[in-house]
Amino acid sequence: MIMIVSNRMKGLHPYVPGEQPKDRVYIKLNANENPYAPSPKVNKALIDFVQSHPEKMGLYPDPDSTELHAAIADMLNQCGGVLCRAKVDGDKVTPSEKDKIPFTVTPDMIYTGNGSDEVLSFVFYAFFDSGKKFVMPEFTYSFYPVYAGFYNIPMDTVPLKEDWSLDVEEMLKRAKSDKGGIIFANPNAPTGLGLTRNQVREMLSKASSDEIFIVDEAYVDFGGESCIPLLKDFKNLVIVRTFSKSLCGAGQRLGYIVANPELVNIVTTVKNSVNHFPIDALSQVSGKAACTDVAYYVETSKKVVEERDKFYDFLSENGFYVIKSQTNFLFAKHPSISGEELYKMIKNEGLLIRHFATPGIENFVRISIGSKEQMQALKEAFEKVIK
Ligand SMILES: *Cc1c(COP(=O)(O)O)cnc(C)c1O
From residue 196, give the alpha-carbon distance in Å to each of 220, 326, 353. Answer: 11, 11, 28
Q: Is the CB of 242 under 6 A from ligand 1?
A: yes
Q: What separation in Å is there between the alpha carbon of 117 and the centre of ligand 1?
A: 6
Specify the amino acid at residue 267: V
pLDDT at 1: 53
244, 248, 354: residue to mutate for ligand 1 pocket, most atoms within 8 A of CB: 244
pLDDT at 2: 57
Q: Is the CB of 121 under 6 A from ligand 1?
A: no
Q: What separation in Å is there between the alpha carbon of 142 and the centre of ligand 1?
A: 10
pLDDT at 171: 97
Q: Is the CB of 123 under 6 A from ligand 1?
A: no
Closest ligand 1 atom number to CA of residue 32: 1
Q: What separation in Å is there between the alpha carbon of 218 and the centre of ligand 1?
A: 6
Q: Is the CB of 190 under 6 A from ligand 1?
A: no
Q: What separation in Å is there between the alpha carbon of 16 and the centre of ligand 1?
A: 13
Specify the amino acid at residue 19: E
Q: What are phi and psi of 378, to 5 degrees?
A: -65, -40
Q: Specify whether the CB–CB gap between 373 and 310 falls below 8 A.
A: no
pLDDT tens-digit series, residues 266-312: 999 999 999 999 999 999 999 999 999 999 999 999 999 999 999 99
Task: Please give the Cα distance from 27 to 33 (Å, whole number).
Answer: 11
Task: Please give the Cα distance from 346 to 350 (Å, whole number).
Answer: 7
Q: What separation in Å is there between the alpha carbon of 317 and the centre of ligand 1?
A: 31
Q: Is the CB of 33 under 6 A from ligand 1?
A: no
Among 258, 331, 204, residue whose Cα is nearest residue 69: 258
pLDDT at 24: 81
Q: Specify whether the CB–CB gap between 273 and 156 falls below 8 A.
A: no
Residue 187: cis peptide before it, omega within 30 degrees of 0: yes
Specify the amino acid at residue 17: P
Residue environment code for 298-330, b if the CB has 16+ CB neighbours within 10 A, otherwise e: bbbbbbbbebbeebbebbeeeebebbbbbbbbb
Closest ligand 1 atom number to CA of residue 31: 1
pTM confidence score: 0.96
Stretches where the chain sits below pLDDT 50 are none
Q: What separation in Å is there between the alpha carbon of 147 and the centre of ligand 1?
A: 13
